[in-house]
């Protein structure tokens, strides 16, 4: 890579990390969309492996209620992991062309509904069986698109969680999706990384975490309503980005 390309990569990773810090999602989706303008998708995915996984782990583990969130949502996390393996093995993996368009359209529509203040609520009595089901569905989409957001994010938001509980629960779900995606990719013919790519992806942690920390501070400083607006605007923008990239030109 040239110095100019490396500068753009660092800025993209910082921007993607900032979006994740504010909205608790979006690093791999935004990162893939922008990095793919500079390099082949396989190289972009290799760069994003470490930042995606580790920022998800940090998002879950650094919050104030690690054990309560883990006790409540571990079945959903395990189902997400299993679903990701199934999606990668049985549904064509990241080579699927239909899933990104469906995912993008769903994200965009849900983001607009949220910004329009159309509320969704999941009764507590349904959570024990619905959480694993939503995790499995999220995993299937992760295995075919590389993105764990749907339907995990809207489902978790429908539970009426406090802001930091929501952020941690999404971090747990996304972490399990990332582990499952790495496992799924490792079983395929194409290697995940070369030594060169490994060094690049480790270096990518610095701007990604810097952006995430900036975004985290912004999230803690703004109001609940502003956070809600950022949350759903992030969903809509991520959906539009995914949908546009999935459409044939």
Does position 14 have pLDDT exceeding 70, yes or no?
yes
Whether the CB-CB separation of 100 and 145 falls below 8 Å is answered with yes
Does position 50 have pLDDT exceeding 60, yes or no?
yes
Rounded CA-CA distance 146/96 in Å is 11
Over range 160-167, report the average pLDDT: 88
So what's the pLDDT on residue 59? 86
Does position 129 have pLDDT exceeding 90, yes or no?
yes
Number of domains within the chain: 1
pLDDT band at 190; cut points 50, 70, 90: very low
- Tokens matching residue 121: 């609520």
Q: Taking the CA of residue 13 as centre, how many other CA atoms within 13 Å lie in the half-sphere pointing to its CB?
A: 27
DSSP string, 101-112: HHHHHHHHHHHH
Burial grade of 40 (CB within 10 A; 0-12, 13-18, 19 or more): exposed
Whole-model pTM?
0.79
Range of the domain at 201: 3-246
Over range 157-181, report the average pLDDT: 90
pLDDT in tens, 108-128: 887 887 787 666 788 888 999
pLDDT in tens, 53-85: 888 898 899 888 899 999 999 999 999 999 998
């Amino acid at each position: 890579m040239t110095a100019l390309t490396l500068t753009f990569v660092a800025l993209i990773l910082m921007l993607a990390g900032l979006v994740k810090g504010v909205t608790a999602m979006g690093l791999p989706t935004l990162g893939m969309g922008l990095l793919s303008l500079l390099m082949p998708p396989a190289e972009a995915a290799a760069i994003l492996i470490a930042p995606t996984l580790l920022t998800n782990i940090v998002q879950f583990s650094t919050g104030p209620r690690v054990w309560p969130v883990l006790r409540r949502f571990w079945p959903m996390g395990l189902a997400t992991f299993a679903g990701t393996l199934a999606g990668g093995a049985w549904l064509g993996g990241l080579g699927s062309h239909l899933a990104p368009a469906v995912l993008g359209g769903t994200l965009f529509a849900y983001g607009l509904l949220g910004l329009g203040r159309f509320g969704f609520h999941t009764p507590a009595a349904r959570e024990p069986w619905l959480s694993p089901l939503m995790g499995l569905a999220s995993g299937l989409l992760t295995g075919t698109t590389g993105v764990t957001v749907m339907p995990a994010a809207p489902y978790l938001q429908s539970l009426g969680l406090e802001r930091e509980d929501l952020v941690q629960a999404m971090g747990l779900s996304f972490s399990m999706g990332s582990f499952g995606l790495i496992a799924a990719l490792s079983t395929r013919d194409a290697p995940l990384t070369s030594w060169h790519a490994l060094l690049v992806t480790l270096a990518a942690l610095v701007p990604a975490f810097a952006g995430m920390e900036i975004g985290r501070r912004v999230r803690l400083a703004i109001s609940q309503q502003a956070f809600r607006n950022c949350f759903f605007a992030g969903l809509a923008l991520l959906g539009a980005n995914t949908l546009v990239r999935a459409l044939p030109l």
